[in-house]
Amino acid sequence: MAAELKASGGRSRRLSKHALLIGFGLVMLYPLLWMVSSSVKPSETIFRDPSIWPTSFDLGNYTDGWTALEHPFHFYLLNSAVIALLAVAGNLISCSLAAYAFARLNFRGRNVFFAMMLATLMLPIHVLIVPQYVLFSQLDWINTDLPLVVPKFLAHDAFFIFLMVQFIRGLPRELDEAARIDGCGHFRIYWRIIMPLSVPALATSALFTFIWTWNDFFSQLIFLTDPELWTMPVALRSFMDGQGETAWGQLFAMSIVGLAPIFGFFLAGQRYLTQGISTTGFR
C-alpha cells in the first residue's frame, strides 16, 4: 500500500516540495543577489530597481570604492588577513595540544579542567572585554595586533578545543597503543598519528577561525582605534558613517569584496563547515 501511495501521489508532492524549497531559498538569498547586481549598476538605480537583473554593467563602484578611504581597500584587507591567518595558526596549534591532553592523557584534575573549559564556552565576551582592555592597555598592546592574536596562541577559543576533543575521542585507540608499544613518546603520537588523522577537524577549525576572525567587529573596533591598523570591517563601518547614504553603490561593492573570501571558503569547505556544526552545534 505504501509503495502504491508513493507511485501515485509521490511525484507531484515531490515537485511541490522542491518548488517550496527553491522559492524559500530565493527569498532568503534575494538580498544578497540584489546587492551583487546593484554593485555593478549606477548608484542612483539602487533606489529604484528592485530587480536582480543588471541592466548595465559598470565596475566603477569597485574602482571608486577601492580608493574612497584614506588607504586603498587592499590595505584594510591585508590587515584583516594578517590577523585572521595568525589566529588560524594559533588556534590550530594551541587547541590541538589541549585537545590531545583532554582526549588521550590521564592526569589529576582532568575532569575539573574539562568542565572549566566547557563553562568558558558559555561565557559572553562582554564579561571579559573590559578587564582585558585594562590588561592590554597596561601592557601597551592597544593599537597593535597582539590583543587579537596572542590569546589564540593560548587556546582562548575553547570551542575548538571541544571540537577537536570530540573528534579525537572517535579515533581508534589501538593506533596510539601500538605506537606506545613501539616506544613512541606522547609528542610523537600527537604529531605523527593524531594530527594527520585529525585533518577534517583541523580543517573545520581553520575555516571557522578564519571566517569568525574575518567577520569579527567588536574586538577589532575596541583594540584597533588607529586608522593605520584598521581592518576591513572597521574600515567599512567608517566608510558608511563617513559617506553616509550618498555612496551606496561603492559601499555595496566594498561590502561584497569583504564577503568574497568567506564565500570562497564556504564553497571550498562547506562539507567541513556543516559537519563541524553538526558535531558541536555552533554557528
Partner 1 sequence: MSERLHPPETSETPATTVSPTSTSLVRTRLKDRRPAGHRKISGPPRDRIGYLFLTPWFIGMALFTVGPILASLYLSFTEYTLLKPPEWLGLDNYREMLADPRLHKSLLVTFVYVFVSVPIQLVLALALALLLNRGVRGLSFYRSVYYLPSLLAGSVSIAILWRQIFGKDGLVNQVLALFGTEGVSWVSHPDFALGTLVLLNAWTFGAPMVIFLAGLRQIPTSYYEAAQVDGAGTVTRFFHITLPMLTPIIFFNLVLQLIGAFQSFTQAFVVSGGRGGPSDSTLLYTLYLYERGFGSFDMGYASAMAWFLLAIIAVLTGINFLFARRWVFYGG
For residues 21-80, which are near partner 1 according to CB under 8 A? Answer: 21, 24-25, 28-29, 31-32, 34-35, 46-50
Least Å distance between CB 48 and partner 1? 7
Residue 181 found at the interface with partner 1 (CB under 8 A): no
Q: Cβ atoms within 10 A of the Cβ of 19, count?
A: 10
Query: With binding defined as CB under 8 A, does residue 190 bind partner 1?
Result: yes
Among 97, 146, 193, 229, binds partner 1 (CB under 8 A): 97
Q: Report the site for partner 1 in 239-278 (rule: CB under 8 A).
A: 240-241, 245, 248, 251-252, 255-256, 258-259, 262-263, 266, 270-278
Strands (E) located in the chain = none
Nearer to partner 1, 2 or 7 (CB): 2
Pick from 55, 63, 137, 246: which binds partner 1 (CB under 8 A)?
Answer: 137
Q: Which residue in the set 78, 166, 184, 229 belongs to the binding site for partner 1 (CB under 8 A)?
A: 166
The least CB distance from residue 63 to partner 1, in Å, is: 19
Q: Could you identify the residue written with the cell 577537524?
A: 201
Which CB sits closer to partner 1, 56 or 111?
Answer: 111
Instruction: Give, for 254, the enclosing helix (H) or strand (E).
Output: helix 248-280
Q: Does 87 bind partner 1 (CB under 8 A)?
A: no
> Which amino acid makes up residue 152?
K
Stretch that binds partner 1, among 53-61, 66-74, 81-89, 196-204 (CB under 8 A): 196-204
- 12 vs 278, which CB is nearer to partner 1? 278
Per-residue DSSP letters for 65-132? Answer: HHTSSSS-HHHHHHHHHHHHHHHHHHHHHHHHHHHHHHHH---TTHHHHHHHHHHHHT--HHHHHHHH
Which range of residues in 63-71, 72-80, 81-89, 159-167 is near partner 1 by CB under 8 A? Answer: 159-167
Task: Work out the angle at residue 253's Cα, subtended by the Cα atoms of residues 247 and 258, and round it to the nearest 5 degrees.
Answer: 125
- The one-letter amino acid code at 90 reads G
Judged by CB under 8 A, which of 5, 118, 175, 178 binds partner 1?
A: 118
Task: Report DSSP letters for 190-218, one per residue.
Answer: IIIIIHHHTHHHHHHHHHHHHHHHHH--H
Q: How far apart are CA 75 and CA 224, in angstroms?
A: 14
Cell readout for 147 is 590583543
d(CA 277, CA 84): 20
Work out which of 110, 177, 226, 242 binds partner 1, going by CB under 8 A: 110
Contacting partner 1 (CB under 8 A), which of 133, 143, 144, 195?
Answer: 133
Least distance CB 192 / partner 1 (angstroms): 15
Distance between CA 269 and CA 81 in Å, rounded? 18
